[in-house]
Amino acid sequence: MSYRSAGVDIDAAEHAKNLMTVAVRRTHGPAVLAGIGAFGGAFALGATLQKMTDPVLVASTDGVGTKTMVATAVGRFDTVGQDLVNHCINDVLVQGARPLFFMDYFAAAQLDPLMVERVVSGVATACEAAGCALLGGETAEMPGIYMPQAFDLAGTLVGVVDRAQLITGAAIRSGDVVLGLPSNGLHTNGYSLARKICEPIGYAATPPELGGVSLGDALLEVHRSYLPQLDTLWGAGLEIKGMAHLTGGGIINNLPRVLPEGLSATIHTGTWPVPPIFAFLLRSVQLDPIETYRTFNMGIGMALIVAPEKAAAARAAVEELVVIGEIAPGQGVTLV
């Protein structure tokens, strides 16, 4: 990775670069081959393959959308990188894969080395927590393409799963149980609407619903990675038949993506705690229930489908799992 100094004190820029290098290196296990040229990152598959019979790579590319604009408004840059990585981790988890390595792309009208360091170190923090190598990336300065002060952050995660463990949704049956893993806020979706509501008030505001927490803090809560929870469930040998990461389109649009033809999910709203930020946002804008559950995750970050006889064991293994619904004949998602 390289960046240009843009009128910033060179010692501070140098210091930022060193911090970033240290953060990135901390994500490098023995699979990352160093010193073989700087054109691409190299990841040796040897140790990974020893545990597998028919490995399948699962890749996800994502951005964090306009959550970056909240970060800019609040002036906090160490969280969006974590959002990005965790979003991608959840996207490969739903197919049964675990993360191997990540590549990031950061672009802005002007590169501020201190800001780049904060963002990339956030990427590295989440990679390190997931045992995932931050293998490489690209930073680009493009004044004619980006608005002044704006930046975009995208990335690609590559994970791996043994073919027999791929989660396809094919085993889902009527009567199966839908479990939910709680979100801690908007994760990375619904920010266009949230910004429209919050910008006029200001991100320092502390509406009563938030109990002293500012809008900025609530909106910048880091998108949760559900890798630890899935590690526990898989470690306990619990079969998960299907999973949906509730991103853009919410439970309404995402859960049907894993349901076999002829099956629907009935979701009992009110069976899980909804983070207070949603109460505030919904007080400020009129949305019908369908639109609400399509725009926001409404407190559930990931939905898991298990056989009914496995639900109790799953909840015993991961306490925060909530029963939120069940599978029935039909199509799509029905909110009750």
Residues 301-330 that bind a second copy (CB under 8 A): none
55-63/263-267 β-pairing: unpaired
Q: Is 103 in the site for a second copy (CB under 8 A)?
A: yes
Query: Site for a second copy (CB under 8 A): which residue of 8, 19, 21, 59?
Result: 59
Residues 167-186 that bind a second copy (CB under 8 A): 167-169
- Minimum Å gap between C-beta 316 and a second copy is 27
Q: What is the C-alpha separation between 103 and 126, in angstroms, rounded?
A: 13
Sign of the dihedral defined by the CA atoms of residues 80, 84, 85, 91, in that order: positive
Residues 202-241 that bind a second copy (CB under 8 A): none
Query: Site for a second copy (CB under 8 A): which residue of 7, 11, 30, 39?
Result: 39
Query: Site for a second copy (CB under 8 A): which residue of 81, 113, 122, 137?
Result: 137
Token pair 């699962």 in the structure block, residue? 58
Residues 235-254 that bind a second copy (CB under 8 A): 242, 244-245
| Residue 89: closest CA among 170, 136, 11, 157 | 157
End-to-end CA, the chain:
50
Strand (E) or helix (H) holding 46: helix 46-50
Nearer to a second copy, 68 or 79 (CB): 68
Report which residue type is found at 66.
T
Contact of 81 with 121, CB cutoff 8 Å: yes
- Minimum Å gap between C-beta 142 and a second copy is 6
Q: Is 138 in the site for a second copy (CB under 8 A)?
A: yes
Dig out the tokens for 325 from the structure.
């619904």
Residues 73-102 that bind a second copy (CB under 8 A): 91-92, 94-95, 97, 100-101
Q: Is 44 in the site for a second copy (CB under 8 A)?
A: yes
Cβ atoms within 10 Å, residue 309: 8
Strand (E) or helix (H) holding 228: helix 227-235
Q: Which stretch binds a second copy (CB under 8 A): 166-174, 233-241, 270-278, 317-325?
A: 166-174
Residue count of the chain, please give it: 336
Query: Site for a second copy (CB under 8 A): which residue of 3, 23, 24, 62?
Result: 62
Query: Site for a second copy (CB under 8 A): which residue of 23, 158, 238, 311?
Result: 158
Residue 11 burial (CB < 10 Å; 0-12/13-18/19+)? exposed
Query: Site for a second copy (CB under 8 A): which residue of 159, 185, 207, 301?
Result: 159
Q: What is the C-alpha separation between 45 and 37, in angstroms, rounded?
A: 18
Contacts to a second copy by CB under 8 A: 33, 35-46, 49, 54-63, 65-66, 68-69, 91-92, 94-95, 97, 100-101, 103-105, 107, 135-138, 140, 142, 144-147, 150-152, 154-156, 158-159, 163, 166-169, 195, 242, 244-245, 257-258
